[in-house]
Amino acid sequence: MCDRNSERNRRASRIIIYMVRPVSRNEATRFYSIKSICLQTGILPVTLRAWESRYHILKPSRAKNNYRRYTEQDAALLRWIKQRVDAGTPIRLAAAEARTLSRSGRPPEVAPLPDLGNAIRRGGDPGRSVECLYEALTGNSEPGAERCLAEALARFDSETVSLEVIAPCLWRIGDAWERGAIRIATEHFASTFLRGRLLAWFQAVPRGRRGPLVLVGCAPLEFHDIGALMLALMLRRRRVRVEFLGQDLRMDDLRAYVREVRPALVCLSAGAEGPARRLAGFEPALRTLKPRPQFGFGGRAFAHNPALQKAIPGTFLGETLPDAVSKIQQLLKSKA
């Protein structure tokens, strides 16, 4: 459910790769709180706690007040794991690799990240990351795109990267294809690459085990699912129990699935009018179910078309992803 962000100015981007250096004895005994270590690594505290309990990647010492204490070596290991996860490695495999490295006594080679807190306080402009990523993807350079995303993730969290780097980059790529400036194969390459990274981020965030369930996916014959995937990622980061169902959902099959899993809310996206109008009968079909879930819809097809919004029974989630997240949270509260 990605609206067209304004195109940022074209500017050259210079990517600086920092190589890991040996950790001195004094640095090794310097301790960091969980808040500080998360700012350094870009990992959410809830995610880090889940990784520690489920995958045993670290066992931090405790201060007298029982707060966790992390070292520079812990930070290096966490940055290495996050880079592996961001590149598409499942967290369970990255954690297993990390344990193997620890047992062998070989520290992971990692590009240390700048302090995220300082980067955010400086008000860094994501525009240069948009330009960098666009040039890499339209040049069919996967290594270049990886470097651009790594640089963006060093400065911003995955949600900011999704909304202010990936979304405008995708808009530019779609516009370039419509103008005939790039081939459809290049557009598919870029979309597949970015979908893979977003899905890896989504799967890296621990799945909520409590609270109402939300299903997120796309209307029948809607194959552009990146906006819906971004929405699912944003909800999961807010500890909403969410399942992402992907492209081209068939209404009869989805209704049967809804009967089985009993979600509180179903959210579907459509980028074109044809798939959007196929949603007209879905909310009435849900009325026969007990308990009856709520139905929300959104996407580019609805964003600036009030007539289409009124034609679909259910709740229009808003013109932007933040609007959709806010509306979903309101719907869940009203359901509670």
Measured CA angle at 301 (ends 298, 307), to 5 deg: 90
**What pLDDT does 58 receive?**
83
Q: Is the pLDDT of residue 99 over 50?
A: yes
- 276-287 confidence digits (pLDDT tens): 999 999 999 999
Domain boundary among 104, 125, 157: 104
16 located within any domain: no
Domain identity same for 218 and 324: yes
Q: Is the pLDDT of residue 127 over 90?
A: no
Domain identity same for 239 and 329: yes
Q: Give the residue with greater pLDDT, 45 vs 289.
A: 289
13 located within any domain: no
Q: Is the dihedral of CA 115, 117, 118, 119 positive or negative?
A: positive
Domain boundary among 104, 132, 161: 104
Domain count, the chain: 3
Could you tell me which of 225, 39, 178 has the C-alpha nearest to residue 116? Answer: 39
268: three-class secondary structure by DSSP = strand
8 A C-beta contact, residue 83 and residue 192: no
What is the pLDDT averaged over residues 325-329?
92
Domain identity same for 199 and 148: yes
| Cα of 7 vs its chain's centroid, Å | 21
Q: Is the pLDDT of residue 109 over 60?
A: no
Domain identity same for 222 and 328: yes
Domain identity same for 220 and 199: no
14 located within any domain: no
Domain identity same for 193 and 218: no
- 145-191 confidence digits (pLDDT tens): 988 888 887 777 778 888 889 989 998 998 888 888 989 999 999 99
- Which structural domain range is residue 303 located in? 213-335
pLDDT bucket at 105, cuts 50 / 70 / 90: low
167 located within any domain: yes
What is the pLDDT averaged over residues 221-239?
91
**What pLDDT does 253 receive?**
94
Percent of the chain with pLDDT over 90: 38
12 located within any domain: no
- 246-288 confidence digits (pLDDT tens): 999 999 999 999 999 999 999 999 999 999 999 999 999 999 8
162 located within any domain: yes
| Cα of 87 vs its chain's centroid, Å | 13
The single residue listed with the structure tokens 């794991």 is 81
What does the mean pLDDT of the chain come to?
Answer: 80
Domain identity same for 233 and 175: no
Give the whole-angstrom CA distance, residue 230 versus residue 167: 9
50 located within any domain: yes
Domain identity same for 222 and 306: yes
Domain identity same for 220 and 328: yes
Q: Give the residue with greater pLDDT, 31 vs 5.
A: 31
Domain identity same for 42 and 155: no
**What pLDDT does 334 receive?**
78
CATH classification at residue 132: 1.10.1240.10
Domain boundary among 104, 128, 148: 104
User: If residue 294 lies in a helix (H) or strand (E), which one and from where to where?
Assistant: strand 294-298
CATH classification at residue 63: 1.10.1660.10
